[in-house]
Amino acid sequence: MVTDIPLSVAHPTHRHPGYNHTVGAVRARDVSAGRLTYLVLNFSPNFTEHRRRSFKLEVSAADVAALLAPERGAARGCGALTVTQMPLNRTTSTHDLIEAKLFESGLKVRSELRSVDTVSNMATADGLKMLTSDAASWMDLNRQSLRFSAYDGAIGEGDAAGCTLAFELETPAMVLLRIEKPSALRLR
């Protein structure tokens, strides 16, 4: 699913038509592993904009039923689901953190205001030296950004036995949400 959210830009004398934010989501369900994933993306063509948006993701009753399939001793309801996240945004994306460090140090190639290029193209020669001198820390940050963490949104009951996941994303950002079935309670 991909959709555009039209935004108008305020102007002192007239209303500018503005531009669109693009929001997208990709869903994958692996019944055998008891896992459902969503990749949710929120982008703006204005790289200086960091607007936060609230999202509510509806998890269908069929997906919830597949995850909460009757298992002996398993908990029921949306609250029983385990949700984790892997967000990539300006504060977790290693590329964005490197770029911020280059800007802060004055070691960013000035011809590129905002870079989506490789680090070797966006950093000056001195910038590359600075970054390579601390390569181990940058690699560690990259590994951390690719790990799932606790979900920081809200999980609620949805319509018709489905569930909702409510969360916020700033532009630009993407988040990989992993929803898993609960572990069966051990009977003693």
Residue 188 within a domain: no
Residue 174 within a domain: yes
CB 59 within 8 A of CB 165: yes
pLDDT of residue 57: 93
Residue 83 within a domain: yes
pLDDT of residue 176: 97
pLDDT of residue 43: 86
pLDDT of residue 52: 87
Residue 48 within a domain: yes
Q: Mind giving me the DSSP string for 126-150?
A: HHHHHHHHTHHHHHHHHHHHTS-EE
Q: Mind giving me the DSSP string for 53-117?
A: EEEEEEEPHHHHHHHT---TT---SGGGSEEEEEEESTTT-HHHHHHHHHHHHT-B-TT-SS--S
Residue 187 within a domain: no
Residue 57 within a domain: yes
The whole-model pTM stands at 0.80
User: 67 is written with which tokens?
Assistant: 């995850």
**Domain residues for 24?**
2-180
Which CATH number do you get for residue 163?
2.60.40
Q: How many domains does the chain have?
A: 1
Burial of 139 (0-12, 13-18, 19+ CB in 10 A): exposed
Axis-axis angle for helices 125-133, 135-145 (nearest 10): 70
pLDDT of residue 160: 80
Classified as helix, coil or strand, 41 is strand
CB 89 within 8 A of CB 53: no
- Each residue's pLDDT expressed in tens, for the chain with a length of 188 residues: 777 777 766 655 545 566 777 889 999 998 788 899 999 999 887 767 788 889 999 999 989 888 887 654 455 688 888 999 999 998 899 988 998 899 899 999 877 666 667 888 889 999 999 999 999 999 999 999 999 999 999 999 887 879 999 999 988 899 999 999 866 432 33
Residue 16 within a domain: yes
Residue 116 within a domain: yes
